[in-house]
């Protein structure tokens, strides 16, 4: 019985959030005295799959069906279920991403398993129990949840697990075929997760995010956000009021009703810090707030704050960021 980890790819590489899931899965396997196997779907370089050995993965099952390059929930579920059956896996691990959440829920029904999302810690297995801690109420509290079904499915919260690096370790790669039919792709228009990018950086996976709010006064000033993001190699984002006013497209809206991000660095420019917005960014490792209002609520959640006019502060930051590349 192995632990099965579903890893997601992007541009041929393994997403950072999936490397976290792989590290988590291998640690769970050590707890249970077994091995960790990964299942990869779509277009991923085999060199990247082999490097999963550094995260403790011993074997990768890879389905390279061209139709899987675009996410379709039913097809992905069928492939992962096939891998779980082949490996007799009773513990399945995913990243708590849009794709992981969609696939995890469908698999829980298909395999009659227990599902825990937003998990932040390794399971407690004392006395035969299997209990995990998960974030609830937009990260404001934590709950211990016992997974009692034979099959246990865990979606790991981003940035809650350190990525392990066992240099020189390589995973073996085996081809996997789930005998997919056209019927498995029938729901593609509805189930497809759209992945919009800005400047080639996928927002949910970005290491650095530069976000703007109404303090920028209008879309004509958005170049400040874009220029700083370009200098830092970051993705751009915005607050809900900005997308509601059509200053920016809705796929850049970060918050409880938008996209949840977990970057290493989140820079908020001219955003007051409403609870709805904080719910989407509170997993960021470092938050920097730039606002001319010293009483802005966002400063309470910030690691670093600059009280000042964004039109004076941001150009100086752009100059400093560009100087770092010289």
Provide the CATH number for the domain around residue 149: 3.40.50.620
Please determine, for residue 180, whether its predicted confidence score (pLDDT) is greater than 60: yes
Which of 185, 220, 252 corresponds to the end of one domain? 185
**How many Å apart are CA 91 and CA 75, to the nearest integer?**
20
Average pLDDT score over residue span 229-251? 94
Together in a domain, 206 and 232 = yes
Q: Which residue range is the domain that position 223 belongs to?
A: 198-323
Residues 168 and 304 in one domain: no
Residues 115 and 223 in one domain: no
Position 157 in a domain: yes
Sorting pLDDT into bands at 50, 70 and 90, what band is 291? very high
Q: Give the bridge partners for 151, in sequence order.
A: none
In the prediction, which pLDDT does 326 show?
62
Shared-domain flag, residues 79 and 28? yes
Would you say 298 and 276 are in contact if contact means Cβ atoms under 8 Å apart? no
Residue 99: its H or E element: helix 98-110
Q: List pLDDT tens digits, range 64-123.
A: 998 898 889 999 999 999 999 999 999 999 999 889 988 999 999 999 999 999 999 999
192 confidence band (pLDDT: 50, 70, 90)? very low
Q: Are residues 171 and 215 in the same domain?
A: no
Q: Which residues contact 63 (CB under 8 A, 6 or more apart)?
A: 39, 40, 41, 42, 79, 175, 176, 177, 178
Q: How far apart are the first and last CA of the chain?
A: 52
Secondary structure in 3-state letters for 171-198: CEEEECCCCCCHHHHCCHHHHCCCCCEE
Together in a domain, 159 and 204:
no
Of 185, 212, 234, the position where a domain reaches its end is 185
- Residue 193 maps to a domain: no
pLDDT score recorded for residue 74: 92
Give yes or no for a contact between 98 and 121, defined as CB atoms under 8 angstroms apart. no
Percentages of the chain per state (helix, strand, coil), in multiples of 5: 40, 25, 35
Residues 178 and 218 reside in one and the same domain: no
154, 185, 216 - which closes a domain: 185
Q: What confidence tens digit (pLDDT) does each residue in 165-175 have?
A: 988 789 999 99
Q: Are residue 153 and residue 45 in the same domain, yes or no? A: yes
Tell the residue number behind the tokens 């990525």, with chain if given. Answer: 163
For 255-278, write each residue's pLDDT tens digit: 988 998 989 999 999 999 999 999
Q: Are residues 68 and 162 in the same domain?
A: yes
pLDDT band at 203, cuts 50/70/90? confident
Chain Cα centroid distance, residue 35 = 24
DSSP summary character for residue 265 = E
200/286: higher pLDDT: 286
pLDDT at residue number 4: 98
Q: Model's pTM, two decimal places? A: 0.83
What average pLDDT does the segment 279-284 reach? 90
- pLDDT band, very low/low/confident/very high, at 191 (cuts 50, 70, 90): very low
User: Same domain for 38 and 164?
Assistant: yes
Are 267 and 148 part of one and the same domain? Answer: no
Q: What is the pLDDT of residue 78?
A: 96
The answer as to whether 190 is a domain residue is: no
Q: What is the mean pLDDT of the chain?
A: 91
Most confident of the following: 118-132, 197-211, 302-316? 302-316
Q: Residue written as tokens 């077994």?
A: 34
Distance CA 5, CA 84 (A): 9
Would the pLDDT of 198 be above 70? no
Split at pLDDT 50, 70, 90, the class of 189 is low
Q: How many domains does the chain fold into?
A: 2
- Residue 233 sits in a domain of what CATH number? 3.40.50.1220
Within a domain: residue 280?
yes
Same domain, residue pair 57 and 178: yes
Report which secondary-structure segment, H or E, holds 14.
strand 13-14
């Amino acid at each position: 019985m192995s632990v099965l980890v579903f890893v997601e790819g992007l541009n041929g590489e393994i997403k950072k959030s999936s490397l976290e899931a792989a590290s988590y899965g291998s640690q769970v396997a050590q707890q249970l005295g077994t091995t960790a196997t990964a299942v990869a779907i779509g277009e991923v370089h085999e060199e990247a799959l082999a490097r999963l050995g550094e995260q403790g993965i011993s074997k990768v099952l890879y389905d390279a069906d061209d139709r899987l390059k675009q996410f379709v929930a039913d097809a992905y579920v069928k492939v992962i279920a096939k891998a779980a059956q082949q490996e007799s896996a009773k513990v399945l691990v995913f990243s708590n991403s849009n794709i992981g959440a969609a696939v995890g829920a469908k698999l829980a029904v298909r395999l009659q398993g227990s599902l825990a999302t937003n998990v932040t810690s390794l399971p407690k297995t004392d006395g035969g129990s299997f209990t995990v801690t998960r974030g609830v109420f937009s990260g404001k509290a934590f709950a211990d949840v016992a997974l009692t079904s034979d099959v246990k499915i865990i979606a790991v919260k981003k940035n809650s697990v350190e990525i392990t690096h066992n240099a020189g370790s390589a995973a073996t790669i085996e081809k996997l075929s789930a005998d997919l039919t056209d019927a498995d792709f029938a729901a593609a228009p509805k189930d497809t997760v759209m992945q919009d990018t800005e400047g080639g950086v996928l927002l949910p996976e970005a290491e650095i995010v530069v976000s703007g709010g109404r303090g920028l006064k209008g879309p004509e000033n958005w170049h400040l956000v874009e220029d700083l993001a370009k200098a830092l190699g970051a993705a751009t984002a915005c607050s809900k009021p900005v997308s509601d006013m059509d200053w920016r497209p809705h796929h850049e809206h970060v918050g409880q009703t938008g996209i949840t991000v977990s970057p290493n660095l989140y820079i908020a420019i001219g955003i007051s810090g409403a609870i709805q917005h904080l719910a989407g960014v509170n997993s960021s490792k470092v938050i920097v707030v730039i606002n001319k209002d010293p009483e802005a609520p966002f400063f309470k959640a910030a690691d670093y704050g600059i009280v000042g006019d964004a039109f004076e502060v941001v150009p100086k930051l752009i100059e400093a960021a560009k100087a770092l590349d010289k």
